Structure 1
Amino acid sequence: MSTNPVSIKTTPTFNTSAPNRLPNFSAGPATIPTAVLSRAQEELLDWQGSGMSVMEVSHRSKEYLAITEKAEAKLRSLIEIPDNYKVLFLQGGASLQFSAIPLNLLNGGRADYLTTGTWSDKAIKEAKRYANLGLGEINMVATGKDSNFTDVPAQSDWNLSDDAAYFHYCANETIHGLQIFELPQVNVPLIVDMSSSILSQSINVSKFGMIYAGAQKNIGPAGLVIVVVREDLLGRASEWCPLLLNYKHQAEKESMSNTPATYSWYLAGLVFDWIEEQGGVAALGKINQQKADLLYKTIDDSSFYSNPVATQYRSIMNVPFTLADSSLDKVFLEESAAAGLMNLKGHRDVGGMRASIYNAVPLEWVQQLVDFMIAFEKKYG
């Protein structure tokens, strides 16, 4: 074992000769860049020459703190987070933030929620639990339920509050494949769930009061959630708010009020490095649009496949589609799996198929899927 202090590499060189893997279109936990997994594999038993796995290093050691500081700095650089925002690396996934948000920000006031799918619906239901306890009031400004969450009600029809403490929405609904690209025009802090869209396109962080995202789509493995919160929103928590959910407390403790998800944090840092080496978020955004355009064109050019989402709200991360003959669903899944195309089954709530094409899904995988879809249509259409 090395007795020398661990030196953290600042510019990792990923193994570009890593073995190929089967195309994985899982909605989450989702595929992680092969190069990142190869790098983690290389370091699994002997991290940075320490003779230990990174999972075995104290989260309060100077060596591990170097990992956390570098990961935060890299994320700040990738999406240009202003200095007046805190970045928190927390646990519990994005779903725990459905509770943390009203506990931190409602504070006896009124909050507006837009419902555009399963995840935003879960968020408002959780917030209403706290409103029912007297912590404030929750107002649903609009819902896309009447369209089966394939469209978003026009903002002119929203029932907005005059003095809301915040406005909450989900940028990308993974189950229904609906994405909101234009920011809601409101004069209160925007709180957004970006679990399945963060780092996929350039964003202006300063337009938001808070961004939160579960890691298991574009950031790394499950077990970690990232919160980017403007400093003026700290210190508003209800006395009912547990310390581990209190943003001000976690900011003061630098996300280490308790033992964090150390390995997930480490892998997130590697993913941030990988994104930088791909040319950054803007470069990945162009590739993501190419992938989505290719898949949607295949669907739209066919009478065999269809996508129900209004064109302007079609997600570039999650593409659900159905077959004209649903009796062929099982055959499609069996033959696609035999062809090495994994995890294409749609969510149980909507059925059909779904291809999730996050950052780590290369264009070649989408081309393989398209080739299969065309061949399948010729065979059974």
Structure 2
Amino acid sequence: MKQVYNFNAGPAMFPLEVLQQVQAELRDLQGTGLSVLEISHRSKEYEQINEETQQLLKELLGISSEYDVLFMQGGASTQFAMVPMNFLTEGRVANYIESGTWSHKAVEEAKKIGRTEILASSEADQFRKVPDLQGLKIHPEAAYVHLTSNETIAGTQYRDFISTGEIPLIVDMSSDILSREINVSNFSLIYAGAQKNLGPSGVTVVIVKRELLHRIPNSIPNMMNYQVHAQKNSLYNTPPVFAVYMVNLMLKWIQKNGGVKGMEQRNQLKANLIYRTIDNSEGFYNGLAHVESRSMMNVTFSVVNDELEKEFLRQAEENGFVGLKGHRDAGHLRVSMYNAVPYEQCKALTDFMDDFQKRFG
């Protein structure tokens, strides 16, 4: 096969051994004679996958019995609407921290549901850093506080989170869940599209504190109601069976490779390598995110001028580097290095970057 270095921002890279297991089981899942694409979601085989995947996630993140783990469809973008639909009740205010494109989209959806206020925003800085969380004045009637832990487009990430006291803290962790250790008990609800660190597109993980579910009005349509999905153990309707199966395999791979702590150590090494190459280039490469807000998952940078940047992309593609073009909203270059991206792949990229600078710098 052609050598490819996959830095796509999502859907993202899978470990080879996971893909090989999928390939081996695709026609016959665990001796059933059926493909995982064919089994009933009411079968004992899928019920076992569903339960085991929930348990694996609970073990890896240290999730207590106070929380339910749900597998839902529609991606994180559906969660932008579901969160206010379920929790932005009459007389309450939704408080948002706006740190980039994805948190902005969440704000816009919430505005359609009810009263919404932005607590802090880094839009004036072109979202190249995360807003300062110190001294925030949370509305006394806040239904919840919402933030996005990692902005894939801008390449920014929160290193620490705020305490919101009795007010629920809800976080979109689509692009950095399981990449570093967190204390789940600090959050009332976490949601994450799977297609970066967890699995393929098609399933979204929701971790929700059970006491929060009791606040949901009966008027919410069943398909958009977290409590309905929790009561039915994510089996209210036909779930994304294949996607949940692949999340199961990914969680086992993470567990086998040192758990979340092991992922964090690997991810920090990869990020340090890329950022060091940028910072040591004497301005040939320029990091786009402020240093104190740099993401460990998505490195955004530019080349010294537009023509060389185009040439960099052209030569990178010729050499098998995939997914380096920045998002259309931000332009320039982006390196996405989620859990499955090995250090060796990042080293190959930095070797290419060093060589390109020698030839054109």
TM range (shorter): over 0.9
2: distance between equivalents of 1:201 and 1:157?
25
Cα deviation code 1:298-348 (max 9, x no counterpart): 001112001121212100000011011111222111111111111100011
CA separation of 1:233/1:371 partners in 2, compared to 1, >3 Å: closer, same or farther?
A: same
The answer for the alignment partner of 1:139 in structure 2 is 117
Shift of 1:157: 5.9
The answer for the alignment partner of 1:119 in structure 2 is 102
Shift of 1:89: 0.4
| Contact residue 36 and residue 271 of structure 1 kept, 8 A | yes
Unaligned runs of 5+ in 2: none
Among 318, 321, 325, the residue aligned to 1:338: 318
Matches within 5 A, 1:153-164: 153-156=131-134, 158-164=136-142
SS at match of 1:47: coil
Matches within 5 A, 1:179-218: 179-187=157-165, 188-218=167-197
2: distance between equivalents of 1:257 and 1:62?
16
1: distance between equivalents of 2:221 and 2:211?
20
Shift of 1:198: 0.1
Q: Which amino acid aligns with 1:264?
A: A
The answer for the alignment partner of 2:331 in structure 1 is 351
Among 251, 272, 275, the residue aligned to 1:296: 275
Q: Which amino acid aligns with 2:26?
A: L
The answer for the alignment partner of 1:106 in structure 2 is 88
2: distance between equivalents of 1:242 and 1:181?
36
Aligned residues: 358
1: distance between equivalents of 2:288 and 2:334?
12
Matches within 5 A, 1:196-345: 196-302=175-281, 303-345=283-325
SS at match of 1:54: coil
Q: Is 1:173 aligned with 2:151?
A: yes
1: distance between equivalents of 2:86 and 2:2?
45
1: distance between equivalents of 2:161 and 2:3?
37
Matches within 5 A, 1:21-32: 22-32=4-14
| Contact residue 130 and residue 157 of structure 2 kept, 8 A | no
SS at match of 1:165: strand
2: distance between equivalents of 1:234 and 1:153?
29
| Contact residue 31 and residue 360 of structure 1 kept, 8 A | yes
2: distance between equivalents of 1:139 and 1:228?
24
| Contact residue 140 and residue 159 of structure 1 kept, 8 A | no
Unaligned runs of 5+ in 1: 1-18, 132-136
Among 6, 10, 21, the residue aligned to 1:39: 21
Output the TM-score relative to the length of structure 2.
0.97
Q: Which amino acid aligns with 2:342?
A: P
| Contact residue 3 and residue 320 of structure 2 kept, 8 A | no
| Contact residue 94 and residue 110 of structure 2 kept, 8 A | no
What's the RMSD between the two structures over aligned residues? 1.3
Shift of 1:51: 1.3
Q: Which amino acid aligns with 2:331?
A: G
| Contact residue 198 and residue 213 of structure 1 kept, 8 A | yes
Q: Which amino acid aligns with 1:185?
A: S
Q: Which amino acid aligns with 1:269?
A: N
| Contact residue 98 and residue 131 of structure 2 kept, 8 A | no
2: distance between equivalents of 1:95 and 1:240?
21
The answer for the alignment partner of 1:13 in structure 2 is none
| Contact residue 170 and residue 189 of structure 2 kept, 8 A | yes
| Contact residue 103 and residue 240 of structure 1 kept, 8 A | no
| Contact residue 44 and residue 54 of structure 1 kept, 8 A | yes
CA separation of 1:181/1:265 partners in 2, compared to 1, >3 Å: closer, same or farther?
A: same
The answer for the alignment partner of 1:86 in structure 2 is 68
| Contact residue 100 and residue 241 of structure 1 kept, 8 A | no
1: distance between equivalents of 2:32 and 2:252?
21
Q: Which amino acid aligns with 2:288?
A: P
SS at match of 1:186: coil
The answer for the alignment partner of 1:9 in structure 2 is none
Paired-residue identity, %: 46
Between 153-162 and 270-279, the greater mean CA deviation after superposition: 153-162
